[in-house]
Amino acid sequence: MKGEGEAGRVTDKHQVRLRVNGTEHELLVEARRTLADMLRHDLGYTGTNVGCEHGICGACTVRLDGAPARSCLVFGVQADGAEVRTVEGLANGDELSDLQQAFRDHHALQCGFCTPGFLMLAEAFFAERGLVPPGAPAGQPRPGAGEGPTGGGIGGLAASNLCRCTGYGGIAAARRAPAGPPRATGQP
């Protein structure tokens, strides 16, 4: 749908339907609007932060159809029909997810600006390996729980996002924290 916007500018808007943290949304967005801006400004998911707007810092990381994605580099129209998971989808009400609790226990945040991106990237890393099944019922043993999050892969997570406050020590410790029985997450 093309039309005239402010001051006679031609705008190109598209109807987008997506599911964010299990909730269906349908909205009209400009073709040039990023997924990060659509999530924050149009849908109110303000946990997705925008830092560099070049995909380098990782503060805008979300899960797009299960894979980590820099939402500042994805146009909102590209997410049409997609499943998006943001940091708001990790907790179950007031109860933190295992990963959020590990970040809290290991003081893996200071100002908190980068934290959502680190959490979403780590959640995707663990989920891809079956170590933290999203939405697993409490008390269910974790697949691969004996393996533990070790090796070069987990170390690469720290290199993927930027933090200007914590020095990465707490973030690394939180990602390697031994896992107890999983708690349910906000995702059904």
Report pLDDT for 165.
Answer: 78
Report the mean per-residue pLDDT for the chain.
Answer: 79
Angle, alpha carbons 116-103-25 (nearest 5°): 30
Q: Is the pLDDT of residue 134 over 70?
A: no
Q: Summarize pLDDT for 48-61 with one digit per residue, the tens.
A: 989 888 888 888 99
CA distances to 22, 83, 99, 103, 105 from 40, in Å:
17, 16, 23, 23, 28
Report pLDDT for 33.
Answer: 96
User: Three-state DSSP class for 115?
Assistant: helix
Helix residue ranges, H only, the chain: 35-37, 98-105, 115-128, 152-160, 169-176
Mean pLDDT for the stretch of residues 140-159: 52
- Angle (deg, nearest 10), helices 115-128 and 152-160: 150
| Alpha carbon distance 163, 185 (integer Å) | 25
User: Three-state DSSP class for 20?
Assistant: strand
Cα 20 → chain centroid: 11
State the pLDDT confidence band at 127, using cuts at 50, 70 and 90: confident
Report pLDDT for 136.
Answer: 43
- Who wins on pLDDT, 78 or 99? 78
Is 68 exposed, middle or buried (CB count within 10 Å of its CB: 0-12, 13-18, 19+)?
buried
Q: Summarize pLDDT for 34-86 with one digit per residue, the tens.
A: 999 999 999 999 999 898 888 888 889 999 999 999 999 999 999 999 999 99
